[in-house]
Structure 1
Amino acid sequence: MIVSRYLTREILLTMSAVAGVLLLVIMGSRFIRYFTDAAQGELPLSALGTLMLFHMPSFLELVLPLSFFLAILLAYGQLYLNSEITVLVACGISPNRLLQVTLLPAALIAVLVGLCSLWLTPAGAAHNERLIDEQQSQLDFSLLTPGRFQDFGNDRTAYTQSLNDDRSRMQNVFISERQTGGNGSPQQVVTRAEGGYQTTDPDTGSRYLVLENGQRYSVEPGSPVAERLKFGSYGVRLATDDTGEVDVDSELMSTPELIADGDDESMAQLQWRISMPLMIPILTLLALPLARVNPRQGRFAKLLPAIFLHISYLSLLLAAQDAIARGSLPPSIGMWPIHLVYLALGLFLIRRDQARGGR
């Protein structure tokens, strides 16, 4: 029991360190991408934390299998270098017992990865997709940066000189947008006002930007005629409070929805989600014999071949997912042969390792 706790602690501590480094790299890359969008006015800064939080399950889904695989290689490699595994074997801890002890944390990590891949990752991806769509389709004070011209899509550019402290009112507003005139020809409409505020119609859910004390100019390209409208109060319709159905891909669908849908793309995504936790015990079988190193070789002797082995495993799964989604590979065959091949390889390496080291 003491040996089991010791080995499990060594694996989990090493895995935590490796996973922390990998998470910093992945999260940093994603954060820079979101921060760039926020700097361009496509996302509010206040939404960055929420987006990163809901992306965390997808990060863990990819990082944990690799981290656990590397943790076994590094932790057991160090134990081999210190001759601790040799002492354990001499005390009656057989390689089979060592495998059983290692499979305990592997089962824990597999459950955690399965929770992420089957439930948390699609839920978080769907939430982030809705949030980004809402922010990019609506002109909102939370997106406006005073003193900058910002593009809000739909051929609309807005500018405000300043916002008050609670961001409820704008001063010196400029809006340029392209519209269709009464005769069907495109028109460029420019509106400027001394101030403005946002309101929502409680009956229709439509959102309006109410501008005060300004002028509105409508110009048809190529025409010498322009229309000028002076107003004391003018409402610009921004968007409706539309929370209806949106087109989603298989990555945003929940696992029950994938099962109910049943098409090739859904089956490809479903098998990918199942493959993530299924990789953990197979990678454990591969890592244990690869962790055995000669003290003269060093603990990193087999690290590079092991990483290439993991990359080949993951790459084949991605290729199979793409083939299933395109319909060139039947879902009934799917990714299962790949898992069987690496499972057989792991069992072969385990048996060879036992034959060399004895039971």
Structure 2
Amino acid sequence: MIFTKYILKEIFRNQLIILTLLFLVCFCQKLIKMLSLVIDSGISIYLIFLCLGLNMPESGKLLIPFSVFLSVLVTFYRLHAHNEIIAMYSCAVDKYIFIRSIFFFSGIVATCTMINISWLSPYCSSYQSKLLYKIKENINLVILSEKKFQPLATKYLILFSDSIQGNKLKNVFLSKTNPDKDNSMFIIITSDQGSVCRNPDGSRLIILKKGTYYEIYNKCELCQDVLITDFSQYQMLINSTIKTFYEKNESVDHMFMHQLWRSNKSEMRAELHWRLTLLVSIFLMPMITTLLITVVSYNYLINLLVTVFLYIIFFIFHILLRSCVLLDNINPIVWMWVINSIYLSIVLLLNSWDTSYIKKLVLIMCYRYHIKT
């Protein structure tokens, strides 16, 4: 019991340090990315940090299993470097002390992870999407520069204004190109004054008064198909709202576990098994690390590299399978559990390493190699 408490204490301490550092790196990266988008836009700092805070549970889906793996790796590296593993074995400590400690540690972390992937992360992701929608509403066309050609919603819509005061525009030049390459029509609008206003649904309008509308075909051949119209007022939608799209296209990241369980869609089912795989990895990868270091203890550096290699391969395959959910020639759910079964077999093999013929075979091969050299 004393050794179990000691091992758990070391692992939990390293887990806390590593997880804090990983979250700080992720938080700073997201903060820099968001600040580059909202700088000088008048967005509240509280809103920015709230949005970043809501992203942490989603980031924790991968960071928590990774921190569990690293904490076990670092802990047993320190125990190996200080010869504490050898000292424990000399005190008649069985390998199952290490296995029981890791299993207990993984169970606690898996419980927290289950809460995160089932309820906390989907709720925070959904709420974050709503905040991002509000932020995009605020930063879209907030800054207009005088005496400068600047794109509005897209590069096909260019605005120039000689004077800007609030949402009032004077001496406006507006150019609109048709993005369809098969159609060579483009529009030029000039106006003495105008304004920019927002609709209740989040879309924006530019309203021009007392101007001229030019509709030109065949590119710059002005002698052909040129329509000129004077107007007293002209309105143009410069960006549409994403609210309807957001409501009709809910992301799988926003769905709770019970919603994924009830769904029959392939994308939802793959997301469900991906989340379950994250839970499985919290048990499998630390156990492989522990057994490789404490049981297969021939060369610690090789064991370390093998452990890292197995971890990378595990998640690379699962991420690829998750991204290939829409392919017709592969069943990602089946292959996810095939990989999980393979790694479970590795755990069972390593557990029986010290009593199996494989160990004796490896020892004989190493001995013959040593004799030849």
Matched letter for residue 105 of structure 1: F
Matched letter for residue 54 of structure 1: L
Match of 2:338 in 1: 337
Question: What is the CA distance between 1:275 and its match in structure 2?
Answer: 0.6
Secondary structure of 1:85's counterpart equals helix
Given candidates 206, 225, 228, the residue that maps to 1:226 is 228
Question: What is the CA distance between 1:335 and its match in structure 2?
Answer: 1.7
| TM-score normalised per structure 2 | 0.71
**Gapped runs of 5+ residues in structure 1?**
none
Secondary structure of 1:326's counterpart equals coil
Written as runs of structure 1 = structure 2, the 5 A alignment for 1:180-329 is 188=187, 190=189, 196=195, 198=197, 200=199, 215-222=210-217, 223-230=225-232, 242-243=243-244, 245-292=247-294, 302-322=303-323, 324-329=325-330
CA–CA distance in structure 2, aligned partners of residues 189 and 44 of structure 1? 33
CA–CA distance in structure 2, aligned partners of residues 349 and 340 of structure 1? 14
CA–CA distance in structure 1, aligned partners of residues 10 and 160 of structure 2? 57
Secondary structure of 1:333's counterpart equals helix
CA gap 1:134/1:206 in 2 versus in 1, 3 angstroms: closer
CA gap 1:284/1:206 in 2 versus in 1, 3 angstroms: closer
Q: How many residues of Structure 1 are paired with residues of Structure 2 in the alignment?
A: 339
> Are 1:97 and 2:97 counterparts?
yes
Question: What is the CA distance between 1:96 and its match in structure 2?
Answer: 0.8
Q: Which has the higher contact order (CA 8 A, sep 6+)?
A: 1
* Contact persistence 1:40–1:150 (CA under 8 A): no
CA gap 1:29/1:192 in 2 versus in 1, 3 angstroms: farther
Match of 2:70 in 1: 70
Written as runs of structure 1 = structure 2, the 5 A alignment for 1:9-88 is 9-38=9-38, 48-88=48-88
Question: What is the CA distance between 1:143 and its match in structure 2?
Answer: 4.8
CA–CA distance in structure 1, aligned partners of residues 202 and 77 of structure 2? 63
Question: What is the CA distance between 1:31 and its match in structure 2?
Answer: 4.3
Q: After alignment, is 108-117 or 67-76 more displaced?
A: 108-117
CA–CA distance in structure 1, aligned partners of residues 121 and 33 of structure 2? 19
CA–CA distance in structure 2, aligned partners of residues 279 and 218 of structure 1? 63
Over residues 53-103 of structure 1, what are the superposed CA-to-partner deviations in whole Å (9 max), with x where a residue is unaligned?
Answer: 232222211122122112112111211222223333444532112211222
* Contact persistence 1:73–1:290 (CA under 8 A): no
Question: What is the CA distance between 1:272 and its match in structure 2?
Answer: 0.6
* Contact persistence 1:118–1:274 (CA under 8 A): no
Larger Rg: 2
Secondary structure of 1:93's counterpart equals coil
CA gap 1:293/1:3 in 2 versus in 1, 3 angstroms: closer
**Gapped runs of 5+ residues in structure 2?**
218-224, 360-373
| TM-score normalised per structure 1 | 0.74
Question: What is the CA distance between 1:270 and its match in structure 2?
Answer: 1.2
What percentage of aligned pairs have identical amino acids?
A: 18
Matched letter for residue 145 of structure 1: I
CA–CA distance in structure 2, aligned partners of residues 316 and 51 of structure 1? 31
Secondary structure of 2:344's counterpart equals helix
Matched letter for residue 11 of structure 2: I
Matched letter for residue 342 of structure 1: Y
